[in-house]
Each structure stands twice: as structure tokens, then as C-alpha cells.
Structure 1
Amino acid sequence: MGRLLTLLAVFLALGVPRRAGAALAAQRGHLFAWVPVCLGAGIGIYFALPVEPAVSWLAASAGLGAALLLCSRRLPAEGGPLAIGTGLLLLGLALAGTRAHQVAAPQLGFQYYGPIEGRVIALDRSASDVPRLTLDQVALSRVAPDKTPVRLRVSLHGPPDLQGRALDVRPGQRVALTGHLVPPGGPVEPGGFDFRRHAWFERIGAVGYSRTPVVLNTRAAGSQRLLRLRLALSRRLQAQLPGEIGGFAAALMTGDRSGMGQETLEVLRRSNLAHLLAISGLHMGLLTGFVFAALRMALLLAPRSRHHWPGKKIAALGALVAATGYLALSGGNVATQRAFIMVAVMLGAVLADLRALSLRAVALAALLVLLLRPEALLGPGFQMSFAATTALVCVFGRLEAQLPGPRWIRPALALLLSSTVASAATAPFSMAHFNLISRYGLLANLLAVPAMGLVAVPMAVLAALLMPLGLDGVALQGMALALRWILRVAQVASGWGGGVGQVVAPAPAVLPLMIAGGVLLLLWQGRGRWGGLLPLALGVGLWLQTERPALLISESGGLVGVMTSEGRALSRDVGEDFVAKIWLENDGQPADQAASAELWPGAPGRLRFARVEGVEVLHVSGRRAAGTVSGCGGAGILVANVPVAAVQGCEIFDPERLRATGAVAFRRGPGGLEMEISRRHPPRLWQSGGADPQ
């Protein structure tokens, strides 16, 4: 606290607040775009806190933030914007904390095996390409109702015939099965993506799998009608367009990706075309743009409507109705909600005779999304969509003259410029979250996006209009031609030599620095915007100097990874494949567990030895192997996937200790290896919701 007060005194003595206030006052008329930035900064601070703030601190933050907003008008011109920004930051912190408490629900605190009963609220496919059910109204044997998860996810393994019958389950049906459940896992390494936090905000308290048939307890009730309609439409599309094309069409029109195989999804990811699957800004924009243009042209045909009706506003209203229907039919996930809000704001601007595409409209959409779902700030969807939209609005808004060249070539130039700007704006987020860079992604988008916008989306709208009459076949075939072209482009772009590069995961400070630089570069008015190049350069420099952990230990103790001169060496060639995949992707090397296991320096077996920075590491797999180890087994660090007795002379990481620490990393430091853990003490809210048996 003393250091903070000293730092505050230095800031005041140097006049930093006064100078910052004067700079902000000079930006009057352009400050609304900074409202979601300040609110988002507060949300980010909440999630970055090492410990969970007390409810009283959240209340104090909200009260102080509101007071600053209310008093800002009474302050001098230099102090008002600074007070508003600080107030929004405090309100963002309180908003995120309130949301985390609002969605609180029990999380399973042990490994469960037994009967599972619940109502189906979602059906999709898991990363292992098997059907997966999301259930609510859950009942578990031996677990008290008040400690039972509100929702859970179960992947349906087993013979293909059982998986096929599982796809016939309807939303709203109450089902029973027998399966294994565990709590949602935390980060696979310190600082990595926190799957348990993600599950917390979705109110999913357990995940698992089953190899038994799904037994129908009751027929679908009156609820989940939209979801049943959505899946019925998906099945109709896949019946008329079999294979991957039908699955692609279903994903485009309904958001249901269960008909697409993992191989096709991976091809789209590696060619930077995976965004064509997500019902987000592109799809919502293309749909509403097509409906708006079609209605506007139709109203111009008749003299009466052309001269006496407000055609532009009628077309905007019709496009808004279409967007609302698309939102409801597609499942209304976070990405689609975000896209709908952005489209609704822009169409609302048309109805109010305001500019539809402006930084104010983008800022208002971002503000609404953060108010509804503050946790969306951490997701790649929010970051990439608003980065692309903000960059496009700023770049095209600053083009004082029209694009050069003949009129017939300007649409092509606009497409090239928009694709280049959007790719540049989203590239840091794509590389940071997915560890991939598609070197031919810009070319693939230039070839695929026109087919989506000019053929696939219009044919999808036409098919939806003709479907009640049974005349949608021709439109679907036209849509299929465009989708085949897109998949062909994806296959070629991802198959070219050197087309895909692996990227090392950045340090936690990299993205905040790059976001700060990008925001300053795009939103600040005047020469001061070039100051954004400094944090951008710092972020890039820090990313280039990223050093991966020398030793990684999985949350279960079942996998160990040591860094060698040839890359990450893994202690096992099978098992914990998801953890291995994420580790290798974060290292920036191909995710091949078997090849990485061959790099392990010791001999194969249940006891695996390796030396890291002069420290001997021993990984023990299984109770029988653990029984052969005396003391520390000659190692400085002992890792086991079964409980072992505590002894002096070494660091022991077994399931009991790892339950408290989460995944562990050791980095090279001045004094040797330095340990990092995933789970904070005291834990954050989503790390402490376990339920024990009754």
C-alpha cells in the first residue's frame, strides 16, 4: 500500500491527471467510442485479479464509479472526461464481479460414475467427433439436489449404431444414461485458457462421457420449440444435401455443426475460413444487406411506393425482422447475439436518419454486449469481430476521396481493401488464441467471401422462403455450388506447402499491450494517435521474446512435458491427448503427441526420467510403478498420476497436491527453475464450487 501511495503522490506532483484531463478534453465530440474501452478495461482488471474481490469491494467499486459519473458534470472541463473514464472502469470491474456471482451454480467436486438424468437442451459434436448432449434439470444418484450441477455435457462414445441413435434425440426430451462425470477442467498450463471459468459462465458444472444407450424418459415438452425447429431444419438440409455440403449448409442456416466432420473443420481453420461457419457479423451483415437491398429495389418498382413511401426505412425494418428471425433460429449464441446487436444498432440508425456505419454505432454495440455478457470480452469472437469492424469503419471513414480507378473496378478494390484491413486487425487475436497463421488466408478469403455473399446467402434466404411450399430444392442446389467452391478453396489453401505456420502462445501482457496500441491508433483524433505504435511495438517485441516453460505438469499428473533443443518432449505417447495438443500448439510446434513422446530423453516405461536445468524429473504412471519407487526415486521433482507418500528431499506432484495447484509450470529463472501454478489461493469464484457426495 505504501508503494501505491508513493506512486500516486509522484503522479500528482508531475501533474499527470491534469495533463491527461486536458488531452481528453481536446477530444470532445469523439469520446463516446472510448466508453466501451473504459468499461472493458474494468472487466479485464476483474478477471486479471489474483484473488476474488469481496462483495463489499464490488459494491464500493460500483458506488464510487456511479458517483464519479454523476459528479463529472460539476468538474472542470479537464477533469470531467477523466472522472467518467475512471467511473466506467470501476463500474466494469463491479459489473464483471456481479455477473460471476449471478451465474453461480454448483460444480461437481469429485469423479462420478452412475445414472445421469436430465432434459436435452443442446446437441452437437465434441472435439473427438462424437455426439454430445447438454442437459439441464439434472438428477444424479447420491448427489443432493442443491449440490447437483445446473447443466452438464456428456459425450456419447460407443458403437456407431448407438451414436447414430443418439442423433435422433430431440431437444426438450428427458433422457437417462449411465456415464462418467468430472468437474470442468482448469487451464492445461498456468496462464492458459481457463476452461473451468468458461464453463462457470455457461453454468456447466460437470463434463463426461457415456458408452451406454440413451434411454428416453419423456417425450419433448412444450419448451425448446425453437431448438427443435432448428434441428429439424438442419436434418432437412442434410437430407437434401448429403455429405459435408449438407453439414455446411446446416451450419450456415441454423448454427448446427453436428453434420460436419473434424477434418473439414480443420481445413477451414487452417485456411482462415473458419469464420464462415460462425453465425456472426459476416452472416448477419450479408443476410440483412441482401434483405434490405431486395426490399428497397422491390419498393422502387411501383410508382406509388417509390414516391410516397419511406422505402429506406421500410427496408431497414424488414431487414431487422429478418435478423431477429435468424437470431432465434440459429440458437442465439454469444457470437450471434453480438452480431445481431451490431446490425440492430446500424439499422436503428437508418430508421433514425443517422449514419449507419460510424464509430458511435460500433461503440454502442460493444457497450450493449459488455453490459449483457461481460465475460464475452475474454473470447476470441468478441475481440476479433470488434477489432475488424472498428478497423473497417475507421479506414473507410478516413478515405476522403473515392477509391481510385474506373467505376467497374472499385468494388474489387473495396473487397481487397476490406479483406486486408480485417485480416490485419484480427491476425494478432487469431494467432494468440489458435496458434496458427494462414499465409494464404487473405487470398482464400478474397476467393471465398464473394461466393458466400453473392450466392450462398441469397440462395439460403430464397430457400427459407420457398421451403414451406416445398420448392426450395433449386435454391439449395445453387447454395451447394457456392459451398463446394468454398470448401475447394479451403482445401487448396490449406494444402499448399508452407501455407500454415505455428505460432508460440504469447505472454499474458502481449494482447493487452497490442489492444491498447490498436485502440489508441484507431480512436484517438490527431497526431497523438501515433503514440499507439509504442505499445504495439512493445507487444510484438515481447511476443518475439516469449520463452516457453521448461517443464509442464498436467492437472491430473498423467502427463509431463520437458523442453528440449528439438521441441517439447512428452512422457507418454497416448493418453491426455487434449492436454498434449494444447501444450504443443502453445509451443508453436505441430501437435503430434507420438512424435513428441519420441523426444523424451529417458527409456520408455512406467518410470520416465529426464533432466531439466540440472534437476532430475521422474514421472510415475500407475500404482504398480509407484510401488517400486523408494523415497524420491533419485529425482528432485516427482510427478505421479496416483497418490504417493510425502517424503523429504523432492517436490512431489500427485493428484492430491495437483487438486490444489492445478496444472504446474516451471520456467528458467536466475536461481534455477521457478514454479507457477494455475489455481490461485484463495481461489477465484469459479475454482471453488465443488459438490461432494451426500
Structure 2
Amino acid sequence: METRAGNVRAEPKSPRLGPAVFATFARQQSHLFPWVPVCLGAGIGLYFAASSEPVTWHLIMLAATLSALWLVAYAFGQHRGRWVSVTLWLLTLVLVGTTVASLRAKAVAAPVLSYRYYGPIEGRIVSIDKSASEKMRLTLDHVRLSRVPPHRTPLRVRVSLHGDDLGIDFAPGDTVLTTGHLGPPAGPVEPGGFDFQRHLWFQQLGALGYTRNPMLRLEPAGRAQGFSLWLYTFRLSLSAAIKARMSDEEGPFAAAIITGDRADLDPQLLDRLRASNLAHLLAISGLHMGLLTGAVFALIRIGLSTVPQLAVRLNLRKVAAVGALFAAVLYLGVSGANVATQRAFIMVTVMLLAICVERPALSLRAVAIAAFIVLIITPEALVGPGFQMSFAATTALVAVFAVIRDRGLFLILPKWLSGAAALLLSSFIAGAATAPYGAAHFNQVAQYGLLANLLSVPVMGLVVMPGALLAGCLAPLGLEGIGLWGMELGLAWILRVADLVSGLDGSTRAIVAPGPAVLPLVTLGGLMLCIWQGAGRLVGLVPVIVAFGLWQNVERPEVLISETGRLIGIVQNEERALNKPKGDGFSARVWLENDGDTADQAQAATRAGFSPNHIRTQVAGSTLGFNAANPEKIDISEACASHDIVVLPRVESKLPEDCAGWTALDFSEGGAVAIYTTETGLRYENSRSRQGNRLWVSHQRKRTQ
């Protein structure tokens, strides 16, 4: 301390944090923006993980309070106070994320059918596709159901057509009528499993069903059907034209990557693509949007550079970026503008606009802006595999190549080799970044996926997408066949690669489903590795290692019972044995996949020789009795006396209080059941208890009759 002219000047005190730690945090100040969508996503994740619906105005008030505190800390804070303001800012973003998700869930609220309905179904066709069982499926709006008041009628329903001859050729916009079955969306097939009710809630699909009766056209699509239906009709006609000009395998593949129409894709072809890790080529996502806009960008820039007058007067990069953005808008419309395509469009738009304002196109800031926009518009995308995998790949690629660029690592390689090295490295990074999410959502890993992608992705970028662009440019002249011919050659190569790789021994490996903490920990660790500045980013390895340790020791239920109560799966000799080879097939398939089991339902039904309707077995020392026979022949008192746990899926009454088990009434109220073995005995869970009291569950419970 020294004195000058009566004034005392104190030397600034060192922060309490150690100098190295403080320097590390200070280094993050100019790299905080990428954490904005991370915190927003954390808040959205908390909303979906909550066991009850939060009160939105409480969230808004709390976010406003934190915002005020942040402003105060930002205005007056120095050193430690500065980091207090940063902490408050990040917490505010978390609350904003939770609030945005809550508002979105309420904004899409629509009636959900809460009982089994049979009768007339009338509506306007807004979507035509196929179910997993290859049945044609129609999504209807403007729905009318007999004896159901309009204010309780779902905004949209989806009807599968079962039968060989159900009447007419359908077109979007047609108003149709049939008689069929409808019911509410089913809950998770096991506690903690994928929540179909939540998924369909955000699509405003309030009932699913089928019909075996002819579908009658009451009114054909009119001219005033709206732009969205007109565009959908155009897409279907374009898809039909593409498939008519190409072979039976390549045609549906081309239609899928141009228009998003997968209706005629061969299921076996899909299996081969999944086994070779090439199924992502079907999704109109960042790869396709990037390849198309990149091709347009390059063509415009190269074309204009051949004209000296324009090359001198114009900024060719900006002109090419604007042209590529226009192409992206067209592709967004032609491809159907689904959520994955919207996400890809936003990412590409952010990067092209960055070029226009002379900012780095490929940066973590650009990726963060794209993620922020997507999460604000569709917060429900966070829990889907598309969002997780696309942003994981993009973030990892941008982060790694930024390090390579800054350190000039590719400069030590010959120019002809650097391109090949970049391709190999990008495929490896994207595969490694998306592998945990793909394995978690799809329960398998393609062992030779890197090989398949190295052989296929360059062909997609250099042959298929330029062919599609050429076909679009030549279509007004009637010469689109030239571009389609090039597309067909490229797609034929990709399909041959898929056949080769999927046919190799051990091409796929089944993976057990992870626990709820695994993916959040992997995401946290990956983000630390990509965003954090300095050597401290290596701390991100810790949550990743913990996540894989938890995954390795994940606990699977000893017993699973379907929502109908008719299918039961019991672990016998470390394999799940099922009680019947058919029925509740979707539940059976998901259970086995989540176990990491490659068997099908028929194979699993032969493992223990269970009877479809009667089972008596031991589960961790307790006797379990399953009886799905005629309820009039079941003596409930005798069943409870002779078993520790009873499962009576056809009995419509409650069990006595001193009897452990479930009846049809319990399954209708609680959904699927899981039984776990613990050190202290058995633990029971049902799907509804894991879902909690959420909008998509509580609306369905409200009876409309």
C-alpha cells in the first residue's frame, strides 16, 4: 500500500481461488456462448424428467427473479462477482429451458381419446405412410367420431388399413369415411421405456387405430386445401415420378432422400442399411442438406469466377452463400420440412448467414446458435435421437477440426493426402460421437460402420446429391433422366456396400439399454471435451467413464409384463423367456432389444416351455403365478393363497389387500409392470408411476364417456 497526495491506493487482492484455477475460469469468458443451448437443453431435460407437471407461472417468476439478480451482479460484480453473474445467467437459462418446454407442451395440448372406440371415423387425409407391419396408414385431421362431442374429439387420428381391398386410391386432402377401431396411445412397453404418449402428444395425435372395412371418399381434395397439403401432394407426385424412372431398389431410396417418402422402401433393405450403419443416409438431415448446399455453393462460385467482370465486382462467397440458402429453402419444402430437416435447414442457414456477415461458417458459436433456435422452436426434439446424434456429430467435428486448424496438423501432410486424412478422420469422429446415442436408442452397434461410411459417404456427396441437383435443373427441359441416371449409379454402389458389410460375420452387436443417467453423463463429458478451453477439458473424460461403467452394470428387470397383461417375460438362465410366440409383438421385440438379446419372440417363447395362459415359477425365492384363462374359472382366493405374486390379466376386479399382484384393472390404470430383484427382496414398478402426473398422461385418464 502506498500514499499519494493524501489518497490511499490499495493493490488489488488476488481472488480466493488459486491463480491457476482463476486463470482457467477467466479463459472461458470469451467462450461462454456455446454453453447457452447447453443450459437451455438442461432445463428442457429437467422438464421431461420431472415426475409432475410444473406450474408455468412459477417458472416464469423464478426466471425473472434470477434475471434481476444476474443484472445486479453483472453491473456491480468484480472478480468473484463476475462469476456470480455468470452462474446466475446459466441458472436463468436452465429455468428458461424448463419454461419453454412447459409452454410448448401446453401450446400443443389437444384432446386425447381415453377409451376404446368402435364406429364411424371421418376426416381429411393429411399424411399417407406405412406402419412397421407394412400396412398403409392414414393420418386424418378435421376428425368426426360418432357420439364424441367436438371439443373432446382428437385433432388428429391415425388409422392403419388392414385388408387387401379397402376401396380407393387416396390423395392428400381427400375427406374419407370408414368404420374402425380407435384407442388412446399406448404407454411405455416397460417402466422407463420410450414414452409413446409423450411423443404423440407433441404431434397432436389423440388416437390410433385400424379398420378392416373399405375407406370411402366423401369429398376429393379441393383447390383451397392450403399450401401445406398442396406441397405434400406435389412431393408425392415427385416421389412417384422418381420411382417410375428408376429400379425397384434405387427408386424408393432416391425418393426417400429427395422427398422424404419412405413408403415403398423394402424392410430387408432397411435392415441391411442399419446393420452397416448407413441408415442415416435415408434421413434428410444435416448430411444431405450440407451436401446439397455445398454443391450449389461450389457451382455458383466456380461458375461466376469464370466471368472476370463479375469476379472483380462481386464478393463471390456471399453471392454463392445466398444462392445456396435459396437452394436450402427449396429442399426444405420438397423434402417435407419434418423436424430433422428443419434442424438441418437451421444449421445450414446459420452457417451461410455467417459467410454473408464475414464470420466463420464452421464454429462452435454457429452450432450453438442453430441448437438454440431448434430448442426454442421444438424443445421436444431434445429427447429424440435425431437431435442428439446430429448435434453430437457436428459439435465434435467442429471442435476437433478447430484444434487441427489452429495447430496446423494437416499442413505436415502432402496436399493429396490431407483430403483423404480429413475424410477418414471426419468419419471416425462422427461415428464415435454418435455411437453412444445410436446404441442407446437402437440397441445395436454396427461393427464395420466406419468402413461402410468411408465407402459410401463420398459417393453420396460426389455422385448422388450432385445428380439430384442436376436432375432438378434439367427437369424444365425434360432432361432430368441424366441426373437420375447418375443418382441411380451412386445409390446402387451404396446398396452393394450395405449388402457386403451387413453380410460380414459380427456386423452388428446387440447392446443392452442404458439407465437414465448414462446419456446425460456422456453428453456432459462430451461437451466438456469440446467446449471447455484449456487442459481442464480432459475432466470431461470422468463423466464419460462413469457413464460407461453404469451402462456396463445396468440392471434389467427380472420380470416384465405388458400393458395388456397377456405377455410376460421372465429371466431364466440369464435369458428372457416369453409365454407365447405371438401377440403383443411390439412389446416382446422391445423387451428383447433392451436386454441386448438378438432372439425374436418365437425363439424366446421356446426357452422355458411356458404355457401361454398358465405359469408357475420361482422369482428370487417368491412363487409367481400367471393365469390368463377364463376369469370365471379362476378362484382368486386360492390363487393368492398358493402364490406370493399373482398375475390375472383377465380378471376385472381388484385383488384383496393382502394379495400381491395385478389384474386387468391394475394394468389399465398402471400400464406395463417390471419386477426387479434387490438385496432386500423384490421391487415393483409400473409405467404410469415412472411417467408421473404429466399432461400426456393426465389428459388420457380423463374419461369422455
TM bracket, shorter-chain basis: over 0.9
Q: Which structure's CA Rg is the greater one?
A: 2
What is the SS of the residue equivalent to 1:79? helix
Aligned to 1:7: none
Partner secondary structure for residue 194 of structure 2: coil
1:415 Cα deviation (Å)? 0.6
Residue pair 1:438, 1:501 contacting (<8 A) in 2 also: yes
Distance 1:304 1:452 in 2: 34
Q: Is the 8 A contact 1:68 1:86 kept in 2?
A: no
**How many residues are aligned here?**
674
User: Quick one: distance in 2 between partners of 1:481 and 1:71?
Assistant: 63
* Aligned position for 1:109: 114
Q: Give per-residue Cα distances to partners, 1:473-532, cap 9 Å, x unaligned.
A: 121121011111111111221121111000000111111111111111111001111111
| Structure 2 residue 241 is the aligned partner of structure 1 residue 236 | yes
Is the 1:580–1:591 Cα contact (8 Å) retained in structure 2?
Answer: no
Cα distance in structure 1, aligned partners of 2:158 and 2:661: 32
Verify: 1:672 aligned to 2:677, yes or no. no
Deviates further, 345-354 or 143-152: 143-152
Residue in structure 1 matched with residue 694 of structure 2 by the alignment:
684
**2:496 corresponds to:** 488
Distance in 2, Cα, partners of 1:184 & 1:291: 43
Map of 1:192 onto structure 2? 193
Query: Which position in structure 2 is the counterpart of 1:252?
Result: 257
SS in 2 for 1:85: helix
Q: Is the 8 A contact 1:631 1:647 kept in 2?
A: no
Counterpart code for 2:55: A
> Out of 636, 647, 651, which is 2:660 matched to?
651
| Structure 1 residues 595-618: Cα deviation after superposition (integer angstroms, max 9, x where no partner) | 11112354x242122221112222
> 1:60: which partner in 2?
61
Which structure 1 residue ranges, 4+ long, deviate > 6 Å from structure 2?
Answer: 18-22
> Structure 1: how far apart are the matches of 2:559 and 2:333?
47
CA contact (8 A) 1:463 1:472 kept: yes
Q: Which residue of 2 aligns with 1:555?
A: 563
Counterpart AA for 1:67 = A
User: Which of 602, 614, 626 matches 1:619?
Assistant: 626
Does 1:446 pair with 2:446? no
Q: Is the 8 A contact 1:601 1:610 kept in 2?
A: no
Instruction: Tell me, in whole angstroms, the C-alpha distance in 2 between the residues paired with 1:381 and 1:26.
Output: 32
Percent of aligned pairs with the same amino acid: 50
TM-score normalised according to structure 2 size: 0.92
**What does 1:92-107 correspond to in 2, within 5 Å?**
92-107=97-112
Q: Secondary structure at the match of 2:301?
A: helix
Alpha-carbon distance in 1 for matches of 2:454, 2:648:
51
- Is contact 2:24–2:534 with CA below 8 Å preserved after alignment? no
C-alpha deviation, 1:335, in angstroms:
0.6
Provide, for residues 329-382 of structure 1, a one-character-per-residue CA deviation record: whole Å limited to 9, x for no partner. 111111101100000000000000111000000000000000001111100100
Q: CA deviation at 1:244?
A: 2.1
Q: Is the 8 Å Cα contact of residues 632 and 650 (structure 1) preserved in structure 2?
A: no
Shift of 1:279: 0.3
Distance (Å, rounded) in 2 between the aligned partners of 1:389 and 1:682 = 34
2:558 paired with 1:580 = no
Structure 2: which 5+ runs fail to align?
Answer: 1-15
Partner SS for 1:238: helix
1:590 is aligned to 2:598:
yes
- 2:613 corresponds to 1:606: yes
Residues 269 and 490 of structure 1: CA distance in aligned 2, closer, same or farther (over 3 Å): same
How far has the Cα of 1:591 moved from its partner? 4.2
Could you say if the C-alpha distance between residues 626 and 492 of structure 1 is closer, same or farther in structure 2, counting changes exceeding 3 Å?
Answer: farther
Which residue is equivalent to 1:502? 510
Q: Tell me: CA distance 1:526–1:498, structure 2 relative to 1, closer, same or farther (3 Å).
A: same
What amino acid is the match of 2:180? Answer: G
Q: Distance in 1 between matches of 2:694 and 2:599?
A: 31
2:273 maps to 1:265: no
Q: Is 1:158 matched up with 2:163? A: yes
**Which amino acid in the other structure matches residue 401 of structure 1?**
G
- Is the CA contact (8 Å cut-off) linking 2:50 and 2:692 kept in structure 1? no
Q: Secondary structure at the match of 1:689?
A: helix
How far did residue 39 of structure 1 move? 0.7
1: CA distance, partners of 2:85 / 2:473:
52
Name structure 1 gaps, 5 residues minimum: 1-14
- Measure how far apart 1:72 and its partner are: 4.8
Whether the aligned pair in 2 keeps the contact of 1:21 and 1:78 (CA below 8 Å) is no
Deviates more, 1:540-549 or 1:51-60: 51-60
Structure 1 pair 255–529 and aligned structure 2 pair: CA distance change class (3 A):
same
Q: CA offset at residue 650 of structure 1? A: 2.9
Instruction: Map Cα deviations across residues 402-452 of structure 1 (whole Å, 9 max, x no partner).
Output: 424321122111110000000000000000000001000110000111111
Residues 601 and 609 in structure 1, CA contact (< 8 A), matched pair in contact too? no
How far 1:652 sits from its partner (Å)? 2.8
Q: Is 2:391 the counterpart of 1:390?
A: no
Q: Which amino acid aligns with 2:567?
A: L
**Cα offset, 1:470, TM superposition:** 1.9
Residue matched to 2:7: none
Please provide the CA RMSD for this pair.
2.0
Q: 1:191 is aligned with what amino acid? A: G
Q: How does 1:290-305 map to 2 (within 5 A)?
A: 290-305=295-310
Q: Deviations over 1:615-650 (max 9, x none)?
A: 222223253586466642632222233234434343
Match of 1:84 in 2: 89
> What is the letter of the counterpart of residue 681 of structure 2?
G
Aligned partner of 1:208 in structure 2 is: 209
CA distance in 2, matches of 1:45, 1:103: 19
Q: Quote the Cα distance in structure 2 between the aligned partners of 1:570 and 1:199.
A: 29
What is the one-letter code of the residue matched to 1:650?
A: C
TM-score, with normalisation over the residues of structure 1?
0.94
C-alpha separation between the residues in 1 aligned to 2:71 and 2:333? 38
Distance 2:156 2:633 in 1: 37
Determine if the alignment matches structure 1 residue 477 to structure 2 residue 478: no
- Aligned AA (1:687): V
Q: State the distance in 2 between where 1:469 and 1:366 align.
A: 40
